[in-house]
Amino acid sequence: MKPEKVLLISGSPRKDGNTALVLERCADRLEELGLETEVIGLAGRPVASCVACYKCLGSGICSLDDDLNEIAGKIRAARGLIVGSPVYFGTARGDLLNLLQRVGMLSYNNDKFLSWKVGGPVAVNRRGGATSVIQELLMFFFINEMIVPGSTYWNILYGKKPGEALQDGEGMTTLLRFAENVGKIILRLK
Ligand SMILES: Cc1cc2nc3c(=O)[nH]c(=O)nc-3n(C[C@H](O)[C@H](O)[C@H](O)COP(=O)(O)O)c2cc1C
């Protein structure tokens, strides 16, 4: 039988930035548990904001011409979804919020394909704002009936230059335990 898949999305514009690097570590942990993973990112891949055309109602397809429909297809096919954002002025990066709002509309107004997917948010900051970003991103998970496991702290990492977040020992311990909990729940729900 094919293993269940977890999709991990980095909302950073930096291809090999902290967000992408810490999500790669989550993917490694999930693969150790026997799950399949794919890490994708928004570097060089702008995602526009929802224009409220409501054309997705019924069609299940977003009318805007960027990579959103392709990414939504990957989310639909996955059993788990972990999203990571750099903290920008105390909030999540705009393009990631655009993605979540548009995917949310596709699911919520159609077949609710997000329901019962397992996952949660991750936030990377230099100094402050990460807990607000976790709260901000959780709004997407909870309104879409998704299952979000906890960890021993919140999924927040500290770092500025690419790679620094990997040196945040407590942050990484928390995050890898969260990833492990995502994997364990998926395997138990099978
Ligand atoms: C536009 C912008 C705004 C930022 N705002 C914050 C902030 O509010 N708080 C903070 O701690 N770090 C802030 N940072 C720093 C980033 O969150 C930090 O460098 C993070 O590691 C970037 O993740 P990345 O390497 O995945 O892109 C900001 C960076 C940029 C480019």
Which tens digit of pLDDT belongs to each residue from 43-95?
Answer: 999 999 999 999 999 899 999 999 999 999 999 999 999 999 999 999 999 99
State the virtual CA torsion across 21, 24, 29, 35 in degrees, nearest 10: 170
Cβ proximity of 149 and 181 under 8 Å: yes
CB of 17 within 6 A of ligand 1: the answer is yes
Pocket test for ligand 1, best of 122, 126, 158, 175 (most atoms within 8 A of CB): 126
For residue 165, report the phi and psi dihedrals to the nearest 5 degrees: -65, -25
Task: Look at residue 78 and give its three-state secondary structure.
Answer: coil
Structure confidence at residue 3 (pLDDT): 86
Q: Decide: residue 93, CB within 10 A, 0-12 exposed, 13-18 middle, 19+ buried.
A: buried
Tell me the two tokens of residue 159: 């770092």
Is the separation of the CB atoms in 155 and 117 below 8 Å?
Answer: no
Instruction: Compute, in angstroms, the gap from residue 49 CA to the centroid of ligand 1.
Output: 21
Q: Which CATH architecture has domain 5-189?
A: 3-Layer(aba) Sandwich (3.40)
Tell me what the mean pLDDT of segment 127-140 comes to: 98
Atom of ligand 1 nearest to the CA of 21: 26
- C-alpha distances (whole Å) from 83 to each of 24, 65, 190 are 12, 22, 22
